[in-house]
Amino acid sequence: MKNRIKVYRAMHDLTQEGLANELGVTRQTILAIEKGKYDPSLVLAFKIARFFGVAIEEIFLYSDTTERR
Amino acid sequence: MKRNTFYLLTGIVVLAEVGTFWFSVELERPILIQIAFILGVLLLYLARQRVDERREDERTAMITQKAALRTLEIFWVIFFALSLGSAVVAFSRPLGLRPPLPGPPGTTPPDMLELPFIGGFALIQMALLSLMIILYVGFRVYYARKYGDWDTDEEQD
């Protein structure tokens, strides 16, 4: 699953550490999501979308070719 | 409590456990090390909850779950195989279900397990526990790597 967290972070002038603290997760988790190594839970995905004030589809882009983990 | 303080405390507890084990062997009182071990683990669990720096979230929880599941999948097979072997040994002895084999004339078969055998069983248990820890740590490292625990990017120092 692709995502645009990095773009939205840049728009809000936020570091990974800053976003992680806001969401109550570790910086490595934000990094792993941005790099596509970890797909967040639905709850965390909604938290991220709500934090940036956009719909979840604006940030997370589902594609059928996602590698099964 | 800082994370390094927790690691220091862990080291102290481990040293205390080793000392207590030695003391327990000297006094021939197994209850000493058993109580000390349980208290030590409880102390470390409580201390871990007081570590300030946040290190756990849904991703780390998932890594832990996957590592634990894989460890269990392998461990139970090894444990079961070893237990089956032990059962065969137990049933082959006089205390087993089979009647004891007749010994040389004028001798009687032993009617209880000998202590060295029980000591050997304890060592096998320790070896199995060590194997479980090694398996878990190995899988933990594998999944931590897979889910980006050691990845770096331009934001990292």
> What tens digit of pLDDT does each residue of B109-144 get?
665 555 566 677 778 888 899 999 999 999 999 999
Cβ of B107 under 8 Å from any chain A Cβ? no
Taking CA atoms, A11 is separated from A4, A45, A63, B37, B86, in Å, by 11, 18, 24, 53, 65
| B125-149 burial: b if 16+ Cβ within 10 Å, else e | eeeeeeebeebbeebbeebbeebbb
Q: What is the mean pLDDT of residues B61-90?
A: 91
Render each residue's pLDDT in chain A as its tens digit; 69 residues: 889 999 999 999 999 999 999 999 999 999 999 999 999 999 999 999 999 999 999 999 987 755 555
What residue of A is the nearest CA neighbor of B63? A38
Where residue A11 sits, what CATH number does that domain have?
1.10.260.40
User: Which residues of A have a CB under 8 Å from any CB of B?
Assistant: 15-17, 24-26, 28-29, 31-32, 34-35, 37-38, 40-41, 43-44
Asked whether residue A67 is domain-assigned, the answer is no
Q: What is the reported pLDDT for A62? A: 86
Q: What is the reported pLDDT for B65? A: 95
Q: Is the pLDDT of residue B97 over 60?
A: no
Q: What is the reported pLDDT for A57? A: 93
Q: Which residue has the tokens 């997370």?
A: A60
CB B143 within 8 A of CB A28: no
- Taking 3-state DSSP, the helix, strand and coil percentages for chain A, each rounded to the nearest 5, stand at 55, 5, 40
How far apart (Å, rounded) are the C-alpha atoms in residues B72 and B136? 9
Asked whether residue A65 is domain-assigned, the answer is no
Domain of residue A24 covers: 2-60
Query: pLDDT tier at B100 (50, 70, 90 boundaries)?
Result: low
Is the ipTM here above 0.85? no
Q: What is the reported pLDDT for B95? A: 60
Contact B151 A28 (CB under 8 A): yes
> Which of A13, A25, A26, A33 is the best substitution to test chain B (most B C-beta atoms within 10 A)?
A26
Closest partner residue to B148 (CB to CB) among A17, A35, A41 is A35
How far apart (Å, rounded) are the C-alpha atoms in residues A5 and A58? 10
Asked whether residue A45 is domain-assigned, the answer is yes
Query: pLDDT tier at B5 (50, 70, 90 boundaries)?
Result: confident
Cβ of B54 under 8 Å from any chain A Cβ? yes
> What tens digit of pLDDT does each residue of B16-74 get?
999 999 999 999 898 999 999 999 999 999 998 888 775 788 999 999 999 999 999 99
Compute the nearest-CA separation of A58 from chain B (Å): 22
State the total domains in chain A: 1
Cβ of B55 under 8 Å from any chain A Cβ? yes
Compute the nearest-CA separation of A60 from chain B (Å): 17
